[in-house]
Amino acid sequence: MTKSEKIVIIGAGSLQFGLGSVGSIINSETLQGSTVSLHDINPTNLDLVTQACREAINKKKFDIELESTTDRKKALKNATFVINSIEVGDRFKLWEEDYEIPRRYGSNQIYGENGGPGGLFHSLRVIPPILEICEDITKICPDAFVVNYSNPMSRICLAIKRKFPSLNFVGLCHEFPGFVHHYSKILDTPLSNLEMRAGGLNHFGILLAIRYIDKNKDAYPDLRKKAPQYLSNLTGFENDVDLIKYILEKFGYIPYTQDSHYGEYISWAWEKANIEGVRAFYNGYKSVTLSTGKRIQKSIERGKGALLVKSDNERAIPIIEGIITDSNHEEDSVNLPNDDVITNIPRDLVVECPAIVTKKGLKAIKLGDYPKGLAALLRNQASVQDLVVEA
């Protein structure tokens, strides 16, 4: 147990993210005695999150000191960990413009958050302020470990790597852990009985290997056989998988995301993806996010915010705990510089890969050569990301 950690949450005014992050911290035995500093440029939302978190800490008498400020430099003073999750402007309004404007001029992008012309617009908005944050970190708390959740993940992390090469950071996304339950269902075996290796680029990765633990047997032949029918039967917000099924059938490997994200990086995705499913996914996500935000705000205003400060399912806090305790545990999917992690794509890139957590940070697990056809797709995207980050 330590009494000296200070965890700064940048973008804490995002209600779900702020409450979930603090919920995970205050429920961590390892982090008792720490200071949590909440920072956001939106004082109204920041006050709401602070109110709920303070109530939760006081109610259960957690040994956590809570700070809250709109002054980033003040928040970063003496920080040992920084978690960043910011967006610029009205994200849904801007995301829709990122999608609609390129289509108005002939682009057939299927989504517009991370790849394609829309991903370029998004990158140009969000990378500059994140680099400003990182510059403050290098001046105020240069030894702090940085966790980034903001998208476009690969491009942001590549920009950080290039401009601040000494910064110890990781990019986190819940895409892989959020998709693996499908593999368990396809193979009709508990997730705990599957050993997996996955990697690529964020939102553009594949399951590289999968084994049954009890049989010590390669499970990919069964997955290739059973997955097409399973994917065809998916309904609701999970049914935008036509492109995913096509990739599996043509390349022999299954991505760990849906059409909406994987197709952002492929110019011909419009011909193969479930476009109606992609739009339904976006509309559903927007509706749930906005309604949940309103519900959370009303609960806090009624004095019931403490009930909403719960541990989330994200990996930032387990990784922070692992660094503090030198756990040497494995994380399935993180974003780190490509220091020969994937050997047949450019090194000046940030890749999604498994890693070991140590007191020094995260050490990527080498994946070797990527399947050739899919490596060609990654190399194309590497060139795009190179130009975007340079811009």
| Number of residues in the chain | 391
In terms of Cα–Cα distance, which of 283, 365, 382 is closest to 329?
365
Please give the Cα distance from 218 to 212 (Å, whole number). Answer: 6
Predicted confidence at residue 174, as pLDDT, reads 92
In one-letter notation, the amino acid at residue 211 is: R
270 Cβ neighbours under 8 A, 6+ residues apart? 108, 109, 110, 263
Closest CA to 93 of 66, 117, 70, 112: 112
Distance CA 136, CA 8 (A): 13
* Catalytic machinery residues: 174
Q: How far apart are CA 255 and CA 265, in angstroms?
A: 13
Q: Please give the Cα distance from 38 to 33 (Å, whole number).
A: 16
CB atoms within 10 A of CB 54: 18
* pLDDT tens, per residue, the chain with 391 residues: 445 899 999 999 999 999 999 999 999 999 999 999 999 999 999 999 999 999 999 999 999 999 999 999 999 999 999 999 999 999 999 999 999 999 999 999 999 899 999 999 999 999 999 999 999 999 999 999 999 999 999 999 999 999 999 999 999 999 999 999 999 999 999 999 999 999 999 999 999 999 999 999 999 999 999 999 999 999 887 889 999 999 999 999 999 999 999 999 999 999 999 999 999 999 999 999 999 999 999 999 999 999 999 999 899 999 999 999 999 999 999 999 999 999 999 999 999 999 999 999 999 999 999 999 999 999 999 999 999 999 9
In angstroms, the first-to-last Cα distance of the chain is 44
Residue-range domains of the chain with CATH: 6-172 (3.40.50.720)
**Other Cβ atoms within 10 Å of 109 Cβ, number:** 22
Q: Output the CA torsion sign for 243, 281, 266, 374.
A: negative
What value does the CA radius of gyration of the chain take, rounded to a whole number of Å? 21
Tell me the DSSP string of 318-368: HHHHHHHHT---EEEEEEEE-SSSBTTS-SSSEEEEEEEEETTEEEEPP-B
Alpha-carbon torsion angle 341, 254, 111, 121, nearest 10: 10
Span 120-164, pLDDT tens digits? 999 999 999 999 999 999 999 999 999 999 999 999 999 999 999
According to DSSP, the residues that pair with 206 across neighbouring strands are: 199, 255
Residue type, position 201, single letter = L
Other beta carbons less than 10 A from residue 388's beta carbon = 20
Picking from 356, 360, 358, 364, the residue whose alpha carbon sits closest to that of residue 339 is 364
pLDDT of residue 3: 52
Angle at 26 between CA 44 and CA 33, to 5 degrees: 110
Contact predicate 194/256, CB 8 Å: no
Are 34 and 7 in contact by the 8 Å Cβ rule? The answer is yes
Q: Is 174 helix (H, G, I), strand (E, B) or coil?
A: coil
Q: Both tokens of residue 315?
A: 């990996």
The mean of the pLDDT values for the chain is: 96
Alpha-carbon distance of 361 to 145, in angstroms, equals 7
Say which residues have a Cβ less than 8 Å from residue 308's Cβ, sequence separation at least 6.
19, 52, 296, 299, 300
Taking CA atoms, 353 is separated from 116, 258, 348, 363, in Å, by 23, 18, 15, 10
Predicted confidence at residue 68, as pLDDT, reads 98
State how far the Cα of 72 lies from the Cα of 308, in Å rounded to an integer: 25
Report strand pairing: 168-171 vs 145-148.
parallel
Considering only the C-alpha atoms of the chain, give the largest distance between any 2 of them, rounded to a whole number of Å.
Answer: 58
CA proximity to 186, closest of 217, 224, 218, 230? 230
